[in-house]
Amino acid sequence: MIYHLLRLLHDPVTQRPLFGFYAYENVLFRSVAATLTSLLIALLIGPRIIRWLMRKKIGDRPEFHHATLNELTKEKANTPTMGGLIIILSAVSTTLLWARLNNPFVQKAIILVIWFGALGGVDDWLKLTSGIRHRSREGLRVWEKLIFQIGGAVLIASFLYADFIYIPDGIRFWLPFYKQGLPLANWMFILVAIFYISATSNAVNLADGMDGLAAGCVGMVALVLALLCYVASETMARTTPVTWASYLLLPHIPQAGELSIFCSAILGAVLGFLWFNCHPAQVFMGDVGSLPLGAAMGYGALVTRNEILLLIIGGVFVIELLSVVLQVSYFKYTGGKRLFRCAPIHHHFHLIGWSEPQVVVRFWLLAAAFAALALATLKIR
């Protein structure tokens, strides 16, 4: 909105912007501005949303199938949940302010966040209102949630593939240490999109079990994705047509740089949310926050064609997801034995004696290490 407004204020004769302010045309400037704006909005609306959630008694106490873990988390009783509204409102409003709204990648990003945010909101609401339509407090059934996750992924992937038709690097699958991408048919592209968007949304949802854990790790992933979106399309300097993508041997996706503003808005939003979600949390994220954040991670990797690299960038979320898969598989294979004391794995470390802040900070450090490792591999192809 700000970008388009300033474009309208160009001098009709000289075509110079108002007061000679050219910075708004720079994606990097608007990305930094988006981070700060989103952070400020989150800090301003956070207390109001928390008070509203408390008035509506939208609070919950985490319940686990583990008596010791329930005892460790008893002090969280009645803490407001659905705090992901702070993140969604901050990120979407900031994107609308600073991004070019005619950019197809930005348009689909906003739709994706709203779609998965609505899905998470319904799931949270049903968990908190037992007895409505004879549902239990477990929220949406697994198959119901999966249908909407797949439906959203198919919708986004279909339109995204249409955008990539005229972008040679866009319809290829890129592997580490291999300079040429593998051609992808339409149905294969959609399958990959379904897997990534669904898997990443569920992975963040699983990691959202301790104060600040998911938000802090998402912030680091968002920062790396913002950089990847920027280098996917932006030139190294105004005086040269050479792009960062060609220099780093990455896929070149024109217009993807605008998506860095969206990722930066998410970064600022989760940082602002952490102000209220750090231990002891004043509010929980809930599915209304975790599902769209995870889907946004998968979408950022799809647009920049860095699906494999996302496994490194979001290494913490991969570990969380794998711990649940291994726990369930081992339990069924051994007839009732457990590989971990509890899954996802952050609960295992809590049960072996680590305090909750210790688990969270150590996972943040691990997320930072994965992010640094991913950036270090950019030139290795």
Residue 245: per-residue pLDDT = 83
Residue 348, in any domain of the structure:
no
Record the tokens describing residue 250, joined without a space: 């990455």
Residue 326 lies in a domain: no
**Residue 357 forms part of a structural domain:** no
- What DSSP line would sit under 167-186, residue for residue? -GGGGEE--TT-SSPEE--H
Q: What is the pLDDT of residue 9?
A: 62
381 vs 367: CA distance, rounded Å? 23
Number of Cβ atoms within 10 Å of the Cβ of 24: 16
Query: Beta partners for 237?
Result: 240
Residue 315 in any domain: the answer is no
Q: Residue 133 in 3-state DSSP?
A: helix
Q: What is the pLDDT of residue 231?
A: 92
Which three-class secondary structure state does DSSP give residue 130?
coil
- Residue 364 resides in a domain: no
pLDDT at 131: 44
Q: Which residues of 205-222 are buried (b: 16+ CB within 10 A; e: fewer)?
A: bbbbbbbbbbbbbbbbbb
The Cα–Cα gap between 27 and 337 comes to 53
With beta carbons less than 8 A apart as the criterion, state whether 314 and 374 touch: no
| DSSP 8-class letter at 231 | H
Domain assignment of residue 130, given as a range: 2-306
pLDDT at 142: 85
Tens digit of pLDDT per residue, the chain (381 long)?
777 676 666 555 555 555 545 556 789 999 999 999 999 999 999 999 999 998 887 766 566 666 677 676 677 777 898 999 999 999 999 999 999 999 999 999 999 999 999 999 999 888 877 544 444 446 788 888 999 999 999 999 999 999 999 898 998 988 876 777 888 888 999 999 999 999 999 999 999 989 999 999 999 999 999 999 999 987 776 666 778 888 887 889 999 999 999 999 999 999 999 999 998 899 999 999 999 999 999 999 999 999 999 999 999 999 999 999 999 999 999 988 889 988 899 999 999 999 999 999 999 999 999 999 999 887 655
Confidence (pLDDT) at 77: 73
Please give the tally of structural domains in the chain. Answer: 1
Q: Supply the pTM of this predicted model.
A: 0.91
**Residue 95 neighbours by CB distance under 10 Å:** 27
Alpha-helix residue ranges (DSSP H) falling in the chain: 2-8, 27-55, 67-72, 84-98, 104-128, 142-164, 186-207, 213-233, 244-248, 259-277, 287-304, 307-313, 315-334, 345-351, 356-376
**pLDDT score, position 135:** 47
pLDDT at 235: 77
The closest alpha carbon to 115, from 76, 147, 70, belongs to 147
C-beta atoms surrounding 55 within 10 Å? 9
End-to-end CA distance of the chain: 38
Task: Report if residue 332 sits inside a domain.
Answer: no
- Residue 133 located in a structural domain: yes
Q: Has residue 318 been placed in a domain?
A: no
Tell me which DSSP letter residue 256 carries. G
Give the per-residue pLDDT at 60.
Answer: 62
User: Looking at residue 330, what is its pLDDT?
Assistant: 93
pLDDT, residue 182, reads 85
Which of 45, 367, 72 has its CA nearest to residue 209?
A: 72
CB neighbourhood size of 286 (10 A): 26
